[in-house]
Amino acid sequence: MATIVAFHAHPDDETLLTGGTLAAAAAAGHRTVIVVATDGHMAALDGRKALRLNELAASAAALGVARVAHLGYADSGHGAVLFADPPDRVRFLRAEVDEAAERLAAILREENAEILLSYDRNGGYGHRDHVRVHEVGTRAAELAGVPRVLDATMPRENVARIVRFLRSLRGRIGPSLLGSLYSAGSEITHRIDVSDYAAQRKMAVAAHRSIIEGSGSFATIAKVIQRLPTPILGRVMHWEWYIEEGAVPGDAPLDDIFKPARR
């Protein structure tokens, strides 16, 4: 059985791009591990440290994940301003890439990881912590000698269709930005059918109660997920996509993360 480590920026990120893959791998008997760079908080913790990480632990349990780890950084936020570090820890974006990569590499070595799941070079939708996950994940895999890195992504063409369909986003995402979201479909090496794991993903999303009660994009998506009947959710969130670093896309994406793409 293999060990798969999924590296994410914040608690709740694990549910959308890799949740089905992790649930499927765990159900097949593989060891799965989630590592988050940040605890999801912007300010000093002041007794709130357990909140987001406890929610992450509940989410991981729903997905069958064996271990959860936190690299110890603070959320960098998004937008034009990078706020000062809180007094008790450094923002992920301010961490040196090699220093953060060594923290992750230590876990990869301890777990003898065979596959690292990270993010594509655009950080998906461009959040600066997600871009840094790609940079740190790639370097950590080099340091630890992990043989395969798969970058979680979505076909940019699919995202463009969704954005055009959702009137609530009209005017907020222009054509130039759409061109830098996620990855072109021609770059994708793996497309994984995760439709059988909709119930687990639904429970994992529901675990992040403190975020769902807010008004951000995850809250909006989570509320839609909770309202959909599980069979319908399985059709809507049917696939998860990856780009294997250093590999060449084939004529059609592979259907199993344990199948290496051609190099």
> What is the C-alpha end-to-end distance of the chain, expressed in Å?
24
What are phi and psi for residue 50, nearest 5 degrees?
-75, -20
- Output 50 or 8, whichever has higher pLDDT: 8
Q: How far is CA 180 from CA 173, 175, 184, 259, in A?
A: 11, 9, 9, 28
Q: How far is CA 40 from CA 8, 72, 137, 189, in A?
A: 11, 10, 18, 30
Q: Tell me the average pLDDT of the chain.
A: 92
Q: What is the pLDDT of residues 67-111, one digit of tens each?
A: 999 999 999 998 889 999 999 999 999 999 999 999 999 999 999
Residue 116 CA to residue 113 CA, distance in Å, equals 7
**Dihedral in degrees, nearest 10, Cα atoms 243, 255, 225, 43:** -30
Residue 228 CA to residue 241 CA, distance in Å, equals 22
| pTM for the whole structure | 0.93
Q: What is the pLDDT of residue 45?
A: 87
Q: What is the pLDDT of residue 165?
A: 56
Greatest distance between any 2 Cα atoms in the chain: 52
Q: What is the pLDDT of residues 198-249, one digit of tens each?
A: 999 999 999 999 999 988 888 888 999 999 999 999 999 999 999 999 999 9
- Output 46 or 253, whichever has higher pLDDT: 253
Which ranges in the chain belong to alpha helices (H)? 19-27, 49-63, 97-111, 123-126, 128-144, 156-165, 175-178, 198-206, 209-212, 217-227, 230-236
| pLDDT of residue 259 exceeding 50 | yes
For the chain, the domains span 3-153+189-195+239-244
| pLDDT of residue 173 exceeding 60 | no
| pLDDT of residue 167 exceeding 50 | no
Q: What is the pLDDT of residue 170?
A: 46
| pLDDT of residue 255 exceeding 90 | yes
| pLDDT of residue 174 exceeding 70 | no
Q: What is the pLDDT of residue 93?
A: 97
Fold of 3-153+189-195+239-244: Rossmann fold (3.40.50)
| pLDDT of residue 49 exceeding 70 | no
Counting residues of the chain whose pLDDT is more than 70, the rounded percentage is: 92
